[in-house]
A and B are shown apart, each in its own frame.
Chain A
Amino acid sequence: MSMDRSVLFNIGLLLALLLVVLALPEYHQGNFARIMVLACFACAYNISFGYTGLLSLGHAMFFSAGLYGVGLTVQLLEFPSEIGFLFGIVCGLVLAVAVGLLALRTTGVSFMIVTLMFSQAFFLTVLLFGEFTRGDEGFVISQDKRTFLGIDLSSDDTRLIVSWVLISLCVLGCQVVVRSRLGKVLVAIRENEERTQMLGFNVFRAKLSALAISGAMAALAGGAYSLLFGYVGATFASVQYSIFPLLWVLLGGTGTLIGPLIGTALMFYLIDISSEFTTAYMLVAGIVLVLLTLYVPEGIVGTIRRRLAPWIQ
């Protein structure tokens, strides 16, 4: 990848983020550890939605495939965390390919509903096997199992650094994808699928690749979440966690590399602040979703890109 303005911009932002989070008070450091891992999920969603135009309402299943793939193997089967982590990513990848092979036969609204239904079936399956998954209540991964390559993931400081490393890898990884031949085809599909096909590109395979990368990255975020925060629960498989990445990406800016991180952070704090005043904190999510659709369809970074800095990727 050539080191041009856009790459340097992203690296600069990520370094600045590191400095800021290191200087934050402890409470906000805890928040940011979560934000950065969830932002990896948002980056994953952005590959399929933002760059390819595949509006999935079922990404919770990929995130939780990683979450449960890691959680169940590490906690119940006592896999070493490294093996469990890889297993979790493979779970997300395999699930994404399987879902893609079926769901990508449809487009638009049908694709949204099919992914929603598959994800709902996954969620219900988690509940059905409550004996192992402990359903809504969830289970905790014991602290001794949460070392990774000799690093204790349960301490606050390492957690912060590890989640920063993860989001950096995801943002820059997305940049590699976006600049690749595949990435150009994905954007072409988003802009004009029929034309892309009639230029000789295998559109189905490209979309399947996008979904596979997206699913694997979402599972990576889910797997990391389970090891870093030591909790696995069915909430993460519910519809809400399919809506969240959509919300984060829409807010930050669809089809921008840094937008998902910004959207995740803003939404996290909006909900965090409003939950101090009311139990109905999801009201904010609803209002933001409606306002974005009506007035700012390109999101924050997307709007900045259009008005000020067209070189942002």
Chain B
Amino acid sequence: MELGPHILLALLESAVSTAVLALTAIGLALVFGIMRVVNVAHGEFFMLGAVLAWWITDQLTAFSPAVGFAVALVLSPLLVGAIAYASDRIVINRVDYDPERTIVATVGLLYIFQQISLMTFGPDARPVEPPFNTRLAIPWLEITEQGWAVYWPWGLSITSYKLAVIAISIVLLIGVWLVLSKTRYGLIMRATQQDKDIAQAFGIRIERVYGLVFAAGGALAAMGAVLIVPIQQAHYLMGGDPLLLSFIVVILGGLGSLSGTLVAAAIIGLSNGMIAVFFSPTLAKILATLLVALVLIWRPAGLFTRSSR
């Protein structure tokens, strides 16, 4: 393939993982922004979402793949949200949301979820059949003796499902934004974020808000995972990468800033994909981790926020 079509293909493929990354990272950013705690087990909510999606579709093989997938897309995030809610009630609430102890406790949760998944569903990678999967060829332009001409390079194609992942992610992200900016729930969350003591004085039940925010964070990660699992397969160790990338995105975007997180997700997702295609995925990750460390040291408010706090 020529360079032009090759870059377009890499961009499209990166856009799919970027969309999923944005969903996952928004979940982490929401939890950090409102509860001021870092959830190290966030990647495991992603993993649980994927593995549960496989399990649900596996129970529903009598129906068409589309039915199974649709059920998984609703049920898996709900289940993961419930697990996250329970984690908040049973563990994080009890360490009083102390930032450092929460990290240590969620490291513990990370291993608990990961290992329970291993014990319950086994060590194999599990595929999920996409609900639809038409291959769509993509045209490209070339200069011939007659001038510009459209042609269909061999290998330049994408599946309808991958395009759907991008579209669904965008719809979900708009949904999150609407909930946060236009509804009473969003108002309550923002009030809690601004000043939890004053929010409490106005009768907001902080503990309940925290539990629901934690559940929402987990559910968002799970949604991203359900969307990706027909492309990537579900595996008990798959939580590491989304955790690392979400971390990077949330930190570069400015801890707790949702718009910054989205910009960072776009930049990191696309550049990570491109570097991984054209250079080495390991090198891409080394650069990203070092960048995060240096940003935290010199620009703790993030790269994409206008003024430092």
Q: Which residues of A contact B (CB under 8 A)?
A: 55, 57, 102-103, 105-106, 108-110, 112-114, 117-118, 120-121, 124-125, 127-128, 243, 246, 250, 278-283, 285-290, 293-294, 297
Whether A113 pairs with B280 at a CB distance below 8 angstroms is no
Chain A positions within 8 Å of B113 at CB level: 286
Q: Is B282 located at the chain interface by the 8 A CB criterion?
A: yes
Question: Digit string of B78-109 for contact with A (CB within 8 Å is 1, else 0)?
Answer: 00000000000001001100011101110111
- Taking a contact as CB atoms under 8 Å apart, the answer to whether A109 and B103 are in contact is yes
The residue that B119 contacts in the complex, of A117, A250, A283, with Cβ under 8 A, is A283
Stretch at the interface among B145-153, B226-234, B283-291: B283-291
| Residue in B closest to A293 when the chains form the complex, CB atoms | B105
A-B contact list, 6 entries, CB within 8 Å: A112-B38, A114-B296, A280-B119, A282-B115, A287-B108, A293-B91
* Set B104, B118, B292: member contacting A289, Cβ < 8 A: B104
Interface residue from B94, B115, B251 paired with A286 (Cβ < 8 Å): B115
Whether B104 and A120, one on each chain, are in contact in the complex, defined by CB atoms closer than 8 angstroms, is no
Partner of A110, one of B282, B286, B296: B296
Q: Is B172 an interface residue (CB 8 A)?
A: no
CB < 8 Å neighbour of A294 from B38, B99, B105, B115: B105
> CB-CB < 8 A to A108: which residues of B?
99-100
* Contact of B139 with A by CB under 8 A: no
Residues of B close to A294: CB separation below 8 A:
91, 94-95, 105
Q: Is the CB of B111 within 8 A of A286?
A: yes
| B300 contacts partner chain A, Cβ-Cβ < 8 Å | yes
Question: Known contacts A105-B297, A279-B123, A282-B115: does B105 contact A124 (CB below 8 Å)?
Answer: no
Given the complex of chains A and B, what is the CA–CA distance between A128 and B284 in angstroms?
11
A293:B110 contact, CB within 8 angstroms: no
Q: Does B114 contact A (CB under 8 A)?
A: yes
**B79 vs chain A, min Cβ distance (A):** 20
Interface assignment of B244: CB less than 8 Å from any CB of chain A: yes
A136 to B290, CA, bound (A): 21
Does B247 sit at the interface, judged by CB under 8 A? yes
Q: Complex formed: what's the CA distance from A83 to B247 in Å?
A: 40
Please give 5 more A-B residue pairs, beta carbons under 8 A apart, in addition to A280-B115, A280-B118. A102-B294, A106-B300, A121-B289, A246-B104, A290-B105
Q: Are A286 and B99 in contact (CB under 8 A)?
A: no
Cα distance, A250 to B286, chains bound together (Å): 30
Is A128 a contact partner of B107 (Cβ separation < 8 A)? Answer: no
Q: Give B290's nearest chain A residue, CB to CB.
A: A121
Name the B residues within 8 Å of A128 (CB-CB): 280, 282-283, 286
| Contact of A117 with B292 in the complex, beta carbons under 8 Å | yes
The distance from the CB of B254 to the nearest CB of chain A, in whole angstroms, is: 13
Which residues of chain A are near B141, meaning CB under 8 Å? none
8 Å CB contacts to A: which residues of B258-309?
280, 282-283, 285-286, 289-290, 292-294, 296-298, 300
Contact among B95, B111, B300 with A293 in the assembled complex (CB-CB below 8 Å): B95
Majority SS at the chain B contact face: helix
Instruction: Tell me whether B293 and A117 are in contact (CB under 8 A).
Output: yes
Nearest chain A CB to B292 CB, angstrom units: 5
A239 to B198, CA, bound (A): 39
Expressed in whole angstroms, the minimum distance between the Cβ of B69 and any Cβ of chain A is 28
Contact (Cβ within 8 A) B297 A289: no
Task: Give the docked Cα–Cα distance between A289 and B101 (Å).
Answer: 10
Measured CA separation A128–B279 after assembly (Å)? 12
Residue pair A102, B297 in contact (C-beta under 8 Å): yes
B104 x A106 contact (CB < 8 A): no
Q: A121-B290, A250-B104, A294-B91 are in contact. Are A113 and B109 (CB under 8 A)?
A: no
Residues of chain B contacted by A110 (CB below 8 angstroms): 296, 300
* Alpha-carbon gap, A286 to B105, bound state (A): 8
- Chain A nearest CB from B90 CB (Å) reads 9
Shortest distance in angstroms between B93's beta carbon and chain A's nearest beta carbon?
A: 10
- Asked if B174 CB lies within 8 Å of chain A CBs, one says no
Tell me whether B112 is interfacial, beta carbon within 8 Å: yes
In contact, B110 and A286 (Cβ under 8 angstroms)? yes
Nearest B-chain residue to A118, judged by Cβ: B293
> Which residue of B91, B107, B115, B251 contacts A283 across the interface (Cβ within 8 Å)?
B115
Q: Are A243 and B107 in contact, CB atoms less than 8 angstroms apart?
A: yes
> How far, in angstroms, from A57 to B103 measured CA to CA in the complex?
10
Query: How far does the alpha carbon of A250 sit from the alpha carbon of B292 in the complex, in Å?
Result: 28
Partner of B104, one of A103, A114, A293: A293
Measured between C-beta atoms, what is the minimum distance from A43 to chain B in Å?
Answer: 19
Residues of chain A lying within 8 A (CB to CB) of residue B292:
113, 117
Task: Answer whether A285 and B111 are a contact pair too, CB < 8 Å, given A106-B296, A109-B38, A110-B300.
Answer: yes
User: Are B282 and A287 within 8 A (Cβ)?
Assistant: no
**Chain A nearest CB, measured from B86 CB (Å):** 13
